[in-house]
Amino acid sequence: MKPLCAAQEDQTYRAFIERLKYLRARRRMTQRDLALVIGKPQSYVSKVERVERRLDIAEFRIWVLAMDHDPIAEFVQVSKGLLEAINDEDLLAGDA
């Protein structure tokens, strides 16, 4: 597998944030609700969701657990989607 360029790394990070936003919306949680559960201000949640602040893997785990989901399953879900997208890009590049 080729190393990721900066744009791909950004795309990867955004995919994880989009998954967190999806999970929060699915649980019908507001940013404030999530912030209360994880012990942070609402502005923290907002900044993460707007990609103004980055989460590390431990924080990803806390967020997912706060929404009653399995962090490993969610990590795998996002990773599979990213892998499929990379494979699709490689296939398209091979057609050129």
Mean pLDDT of all residues belonging to the chain: 87
CATH code of 89's domain:
1.10.260.40
pTM for the whole structure: 0.79
> What's CA 84's distance to the chain center, in Å?
16
> Quick check: is 22 in a domain?
yes
- The total domain count for the chain is 1
Q: Which residues of 57-93 are buried (b: 16+ CB within 10 A; e: fewer)?
A: eebbbbbbebbebeeeebbebbeeebeeebeeeeeee
Domain that holds residue 70: 15-95
Question: What is the rounded distance in angstroms from the CA atom of residue 57 to the CA atom of residue 64?
Answer: 11
- Per-residue H/E/C for 50-84: CCCCCCCHHHHHHHHHHCCCCHHHHHHHHHHHHHH
- pLDDT band at residue 12 under the 50/70/90 scheme: confident
Q: Is the pLDDT of residue 53 over 60?
A: yes
> Quick check: is 4 in a domain?
no
- Which is more confident, 96 or 61? 61
> Quick check: is 9 in a domain?
no
Tell me: the pLDDT tens digits for 19-51? Answer: 999 999 999 999 999 999 999 999 999 999 999
**Average pLDDT of the residues in 6-11:** 64
